[in-house]
Amino acid sequence: MENDVAHVRSIADYQFGKNVGAALFPENVRIQYSKATGRIRYINLNGERLATLRPTDGLLSLSITAAKRIVANAVPAQCFVTVQSDVAQFVAEGGDVFVAHVVKADEAIRAKDEVVVVDEAGKVLAVGRAVLSSTEMTAFKTGVAVKVRHGSGSQSEAKNQQK
């Protein structure tokens, strides 16, 4: 069990930046395993899902709760996309992030990376997958920058929090 916690922490450090794993996954996380393969599938804390270990690439998909933990612990993660405050409500409800609204994107972001979308005040709005690299997000004039999976105000995330 403790070896598995160290494993998911090292994946988080690789994926999001140094020391993110320890801040994101404390010792009391509960790991659920796939019934079919026996591999790590979900990482939960106090009954809430923090992350899912994707079987396709071995990387983590974050929940809103996990994104808020990263921000709350002030970890210098390399996965943040900052958007204009005037589109915050749209993104929080699950709308995709367009390049025209990107204020800043961490330099380490590449296309298909897991990202946390925040407003200019640093409030978590959504989690999703980058469609473009950070350079492209700030250079392009049109197009989708981030495909949002969960918004902080979306009903799908609210249902997930109740489980």
Q: Which CATH class is domain 80-162?
A: mainly beta
- In the chain, what are the domain boundaries? 2-72, 80-162
Of the candidates 63, 87, 89, 71, which has an alpha carbon nearest to the alpha carbon of residue 159?
63
pLDDT at 106 over 50: yes
Q: 162: pLDDT confidence band, cut at 50, 70 and 90? A: very low
Angle between helix 155-162 and helix 64-72 axes, rounded to 10 deg: 80
Third-level CATH fold of 2-72 = Nuclear Transport Factor 2; Chain: A, (3.10.450)
Of the candidates 117, 57, 55, 50, which has an alpha carbon nearest to the alpha carbon of residue 87?
117
Q: What pLDDT is attached to residue 76?
A: 81
Q: What pLDDT is attached to residue 118?
A: 95
Largest distance between two CA atoms of the chain: 47
pTM of the predicted model, to two decimals? 0.86
pLDDT at 157 over 80: no
pLDDT at 61 over 60: yes
Q: What pLDDT is attached to residue 75?
A: 76
pLDDT at 1 over 80: no
pLDDT at 100 over 70: yes
Mean pLDDT for all residues in the chain? 89
